[in-house]
Amino acid sequence: MRAWASRPPDSMDWYPLWNSLRIAAISSVIVFFAGIAAAYYVARLPRALKGLLDVVLTLPLVLPPTVCGYFLLLLFGNRRPLGIFLAQFGFKFVMTWYGGVLAAAVVAFPLMYRTARGAFESFDGTLAYAGKTLGLSNSYIFWRIRMPVCRQGILAGAVLAFARALGEYGATSMLVGYTPGKTATISTTVYQLWRTNDESGAFRWVMVNLTISAVVLLAVNLLERRNRRGTAP
Amino acid sequence: MSLTVDIHKQLGRFSLDASFRADGGTLGLLGASGSGKSFTLKCIAGIERPDRGKILLNGVTLFDSERWINLPPQKRRVGYLFQNYALFPNMTVRQNILCGIRWERDRARRAAELRRVVELLHLQGLEEQRPDQLSGGQQQRTALARILVSRPELLMLDEPFSALDEHLRDQLQIQMKKLLDTFDGDILLVTHNHDEAYHMCEKAAVVDGGRILGVRETELLFLDPGSVPAARLTGCRNISSAARRVGAYEVEIPGWGIRLATARPVKEGVRAVGVRAGAFSHTCPENRFPVSFTGHMELPFETQMCFRYEGQAETEGELWWSRPGRDGKKGLPQELGVPREDVLLLY
């Protein structure tokens, strides 16, 4: 613990924390809506198409994250057609913090998509039919009946996606690397500090990471308990 | 008050041809599971789309394949009571009911309508409960309240009592019948239970293999089912495999090795004969034939006796005689008779 005390915490560069949180937050919001939309539409597709799309949408879950990063570089690399095209609008995903958002979103997406799809598939379709015959609009049925009934699964998916985005390393390091004060996240910082023999620095960031994870899990538990109280007598 | 349905739908190998008219009162659709009766309701509600045909409700076209009309379920004014009631589990009874009247802008009117159906269905005090806290009967009443508050022009009940315990079922049938009598639109009731159909419906039609076999007065349907599926669905247990006309009022049943005299004239093309288990009698002088008993099933207040006619073919199954009283298997008769009017001719 001497190493921890040797450098006072106020001299610590907090950028990786802020960057990690921002990347995780933004990517999970994107993944939340994209995952739900994909789950909703894929669940209604004919079986053959469903199977194909399911494979494509779940692929990032089974591929090593570095391979995902490789594919992202293939697509968005500075000299690739899509990369050149996007650069005209000022978007550069390589070596930028929002490139980190893209990497985290791609890797976290399958978790949201699959849990939401599971929730939607176990949803009793007659509830939606009943709503329709009662004159309720499709959007009312979706937001006020389907979503609340599937709340547990969707919430679980969102938490998983957020946790995965927060811990993203492989694809992020491939696409945006490690630049202090620019693309550094907690996970890449831990690796960088460890690699450069700054054991105490790495340890500090590990503690930060543990704290965040604990807070997230605690929040989820509290939320679930409140939900349960809402529905039970 | 009128509903006209004439639709066709192909579902893989199964084809549905539903064609019937209902004008006022309760029409029962009596069919086995998989006969297409629930699917017919879904087409009327607009949840499923028929391949072709027409659906008219009180002069309004709900569906017409030739004129490209297919009203969304929201605009059809059709109330649908699902088998599991389909209450929204995340809402209270009050919120569930208010879902049926969201189109009403005036708050006071909405509240008044809510009060009306809560009283009509005796839901006072349950308004803030959630569906999982309600009994089966209360769930059914909530679902009905939610439908009635939306003021539908047609009410469709899909196996309304199948989710309930038996002791509740009879009681609720009586309550439901009273309630339905106050409803001034058409009512369609789908069931596989012949007692339910008999009690609840003024008219009934048998649904068999995706076809609706003519709407008739319920009493007449039970008195003279007229077809093999109708006989089976109205609870007739003894149906012969074949029959042949031998006289204006006489029919031969080769499988049973007998000829029966009938009260109704036997028409050419008779396919089978049905006799209800309760129609046999050892005192009846008509259509008496020697029988031998092969088994029995004792029930609390009657005995179901299995028997064969003397000349009955091996391939033909056992016949059932339901004999009132507990000691039915004592003092077995040598012969059983059937009153002529109880010989059901099936075409």
What is the value of ipTM here, to two decimals? 0.84
pLDDT in tens, B225-274: 989 999 999 999 999 988 888 888 999 888 898 889 899 998 888 899 99
| In a shared domain, residues B60 and B175 | yes
B232 within some domain: no
Q: Please tell me which of the candidates A127, A136, A140 has its beta carbon nearest to residue B86.
A: A127
The percentage of chain A sitting over the pLDDT mark of 70, rounded to a whole number, equals: 91
Residues B33 and B61 in one domain: yes
pLDDT at B113: 92
Q: What is the mean pLDDT of residues A163-180?
A: 91
Task: List pLDDT tens digits, range B82-117.
Answer: 999 999 999 999 999 999 999 888 999 999 999 999
A134 and B100 within 8 Å at the Cβ level: the answer is yes
Q: What is the mean pLDDT of residues B22-42?
A: 90
* pLDDT at position A202: 92
Contact check, Cβ <8 Å, A132/B74: yes
Together in a domain, B270 and B210: no
Query: Residue B328: its pLDDT value, please?
Result: 61
Q: Name the residue of chain A whose CA is nearest to B42's CA.
A: A129
Residue B300 is predicted with a pLDDT of 82
Give chain B's contact residues with A (Cβ, < 8 Å).
Answer: 42, 45-47, 72-76, 78-80, 82, 84, 86, 88-90, 99-100, 102-103, 130, 132-133, 146-147, 150
Asked if B112 and B104 count as a contact pair (C-beta separation under 8 A), the reply is no
Q: What is the pLDDT of residue B138?
A: 93
Average pLDDT, chain B: 90
**B28 and B89 share one domain:** yes
Least confident of A2-16, A52-66, A85-99, B247-261: A2-16
Task: Give the pLDDT score at A1.
Answer: 41
pLDDT at B329: 65
Is A135 close to B72, i.e. CB distance below 8 A? no
**pLDDT 10s digits, A194-209:** 999 999 999 999 999 9
Q: Are residues B36 and B106 in the same domain?
A: yes
User: Could A231 and B73 be called an inter-chain contact, meaning their C-beta atoms sit closer than 8 Å?
Assistant: no
Domain boundary among B223, B249, B265: B223
Mean pLDDT of B317-343: 83
Alpha-carbon distance of B150 to B100, in angstroms, equals 5
User: What does the pLDDT average to over B129-150?
Assistant: 93
Mean residue pLDDT across chain A: 87
Q: Tell me, yes or no, whether B134 and B261 share the same domain.
A: no
Q: Are residues B265 and B213 in the same domain?
A: no
Do residues B274 and B225 touch, judged by C-beta distance below 8 A?
Answer: yes
Same-domain check for residues B72 and B142:
yes
- pLDDT number for residue A203: 93
Domain count, chain B: 2
Average pLDDT over residues B210-236: 90
pLDDT one-digit tens code per residue, B38-70: 999 999 999 999 999 999 999 999 999 999 999
**Same domain membership, residue B341 and residue B196:** no
Q: Are residues B70 and B156 in the same domain?
A: yes
**Domain enclosing residue B258, as ranges:** 238-346
Decide: A12 and A3 in contact? Cβ < 8 Å. no
Neighboring chain B residues of A126 at a CB cutoff of 8 Å = 82, 84, 86
Separation in Å, CA B109 to CA A154, B114, B123, B141: 37, 8, 19, 21
- What is the radius of gyration, based on Cα positions, of chain A? 21
Q: How much is the pLDDT for B88?
A: 96
What's the pLDDT at B339? Answer: 92
Residue B94's pLDDT is 95
Distances (CA, A) of A13 to A1, A202, B69, B116, B274: 19, 12, 67, 67, 92
Where among B192, B223, B254 does a domain terminate?
Answer: B223
Domain contains B306: yes
**Does B229 reside within a domain?**
no
- Matching residue, tokens 């609720």: B172
Which of the four pLDDT bands, split at 50, 70 and 90, describes residue A6?
A: very low
Q: Which CATH class for the A13-190 domain?
A: mainly alpha
In a domain, B231, yes or no: no
Residue B233 lies inside a defined structural domain of this protein: no
Min Cα separation A29/chain B (Å): 24
Quick check: B147 and A140 CB within 8 A?
A: no
Do A133 and B72 count as a contact with CB atoms less than 8 A apart? no
In terms of average pLDDT, the best of A81-95, B6-20, B158-172, B313-327 is: B6-20
Per-residue pLDDT, A11: 60
Residue B230 domain flag: no
| B14, B211 Cβ separation under 8 angstroms | no
Please state the three-class secondary structure of chain B as a single string.
CCEEEEEEEEECCEEEEEEEEECCCEEEEEECCCCCHHHHHHHHHCCCCCCEEEEEECCEEEEECCCCEECCHHHCCEEEECCCCCCCCCCCHHHHHHHHHCCCCCHHHHHHHHHHHHHHCCCCCCCCCCHHHCCHHHHHHHHHHHHHCCCCCEEEEECCCCCCCHHHHHHHHHHHHHHHHHCCCEEEEEECCHHHHHHHCCEEEEEECCEEEEEEEHHHHHHCCCCHHHHHHCCCCEECCCCEEEECCEEEEHHHCEEEECCCCCCCCCCEEEECCCCCECCCCCCCEEEEEEEEEECCCEEEEEEEECCCCCCCCCEEEEEECCCCCCCCCCEEECCHHHCEEEC
pLDDT at A2 over 50: no
B271 in the same domain as B202: no
Residue A7 has pLDDT above 60, yes or no: no
pLDDT at B302: 83
Query: At residue A48, does pLDDT exceed 70?
Result: yes
Which of B85, B99, B144 lies closest to A144 in space, CA to CA?
Answer: B99
**Nearest alpha-carbon partner for A183 in A16, A65, A28, A30:** A16
Using pLDDT thresholds of 50, 70 and 90, give the confidence band for residue B296.
Answer: confident
pLDDT confidence of residue B50? 94
Query: A135–B146: do the CB atoms touch at under 8 Å?
Result: no
Q: What is the 3-state secondary structure (H, E, C) of A139-189?
A: HHHHHHHHHHHCHHHHHHHHHHHHHHHHCCCHHHHHHCCCCCCCCCCHHHH
Is position B276 within any domain?
yes
- Residue B228 included in any domain: no
Nearest of A111, A202, A117 to residue A164 by alpha carbon: A111
pLDDT at residue B327, rounded to an integer: 67
What's the pLDDT at B189? 94
Tokens (6 digits) for A35: 């995952």
pLDDT at A65: 93
Q: Are residues B183 and B277 in the same domain?
A: no
Mutate to test the interface with B, among A127, A133, A228 (most CBs of B within 10 A): A133
Q: Which CATH number covers residue B106?
A: 3.40.50.300
